[in-house]
Structures are given as C-alpha cells and as structure tokens.
Amino acid sequence: MPGAAMASRRLVFMGPPGAGKGTQAKLVCEKLGIPQVSTGDILRARKAAGTLPAELAKIMASGGLVPDKAVVDLVGERLAEPDCKNGFLLDGFPRTVAQAEALDAMLAAHLQKLEVALVLEVPDSLLIERAVLRRTDKRTGQIYHLKYNPPPPDADLEHRADDHEDVVRKRLAAYAESTAAVIPYYEKQGIVRRVDGTKSMQEVTKAVFAALGV
C-alpha cells in the first residue's frame, strides 16, 4: 500500500473530554493496523471486572485524574505486549507533564521516540453536548451520539457514569489545569499536529489522516 509505510506509528491523541479522540483513534488504528491504547477504556474495563481499586474508581466518577503512578504502570504493562511492537496509538495518555516524561523514558529504554502528538481542538461550548449525549454499545465498544451519530435500534447502549454535565465540567477543568500543559511539552519536541475537531466526523477523519500522512 503506497503511503502506508510513511505513516507515523507511535502516536498520542490529545484533546479535551468529548473532543472525538476515541472516535478518530479507532479509524486510524484500523487503517494502520496498530492497537488503540486508551487509559480510560482500560480503567473502565478494570472497574467492570471488579479489579480497579475503589479509590481510583471514586476519582474517575468525580471527574478527577487518577494518580500518575497508577496510569504510568498500566501503560508500561500494555506497551510491553507484543502487539505494540510496531506502533500504537495512545488515547487519553499522557494527561500530565509527569506522565509525558515517564512515557519518553519508557520509549527511550527501547531506543524509540514518539512520532506525533495529535491535538483535536474543540471549544468547551461544544464539548458538554458531545459528552452528555454520547452512548457506547456495550457489546461492540462502538461510540454513538444521540444527535450526531444515532445508534441502531438493536444497540445495547451504555451511558458513562462520568458523562453527566456536572462531572463533564470537572473533567474540562482537570484538562485545563493539568493536561493542556502537555501540548507545549510536545511542541518543544516539534511533534504537535493540530486538527480542527469542530467539523463533521467525516471531515475530521480526513484532516486527521492527512495530518498523520495516512
């Protein structure tokens, strides 16, 4: 496939809650044949399995950030799995400068570097509605939106516990307080690519693929 060999394969997707990271990450991973490593998905799967410590579940439910060590350990374990050998897309990690530094150190130990930090830019005014009306199919993990991407009638829908407006506002505050600072960290490395995430899903996908050279 001409062009595919040029595409970047060690990627981070950044952007505020509800920006569309998960939606676009799935499409990029399918196209590049790399795994999507979403810290939010891993934490929710552990909660569902009853293996997430109660204090971490409480932090997630309140819209705060789980302590750096817990997520860094989780990502370290996941990136050591064989399917990450030829690339990965980190979705929702890193969320603090300390997490970004830990990731760089992990990769450097294998003589690797991150290639792109893609930032999906969406203003807060659109994010509340995106998160509050999001629904996920429990069986397939497919992400829907009651207004912009309605689910089929047979979907087994789940409304995330942290997608209620008051919690979404706290998540937005956590993003502004801790996660936005990761963008200048990657700007210094010259790997930031920004995409306007306010357009339709299809238009955003086109822009994301172009930004990644896919």
Catalytic (active site) residue 130: no
Residue of 76, 4, 68 whose CA lies nearest to 37 = 76
Catalytic residue selected from 78, 130, 134, 135: 134
Q: Considering the complex, what minimum distance in angstroms separates the CB of residue 82 from ligand AP5? A: 23
Q: Which is nearer to ligand AP5, 116 or 131 (CB)?
A: 131
What's the closest the beta carbon of residue 5 comes to ligand AP5, in angstroms? 28
Specify whether 10 is catalytic. no
89: number of Cβ within 10 Å: 26
> What does the DSSP assignment read for the chain?
-TTGGGS--EEEEE-STTSSHHHHHHHHHHHHT--EEEHHHHHHHHHHHT-S-HHHHHHHHHT-PPPHHHHHHHHHHHHTSGGGTT-EEEES---SHHHHHHHHHHHHTTT----EEEEEE--HHHHHHHHHTEEEETTT--EEETTTBPPPTT--EE--TT-SHHHHHHHHHHIIIIITTHHHHHHHTT-EEEEETTS-HHHHHHHHHHHHT-
Cβ 36 to ligand AP5, closest distance in Å?
10
In whole angstroms, how close is the CB of 187 to ligand AP5 at the nearest point?
19
Q: Catalytic site residue 44?
A: no
CB of 146 to ligand AP5, least distance (A): 8
Interacting residues toward ligand AP5 by CB under 6 A:
15, 17-23, 39-40, 43, 59-60, 63-66, 71, 92-93, 95, 99, 130-131, 134, 143-145, 148-149, 162, 171, 197, 200-201, 204
Catalytic residue flag (residue 169): no
List 31, 160, 194, 199, catalytic entry:
160
Catalytically annotated residues: 21, 95, 134, 160, 171
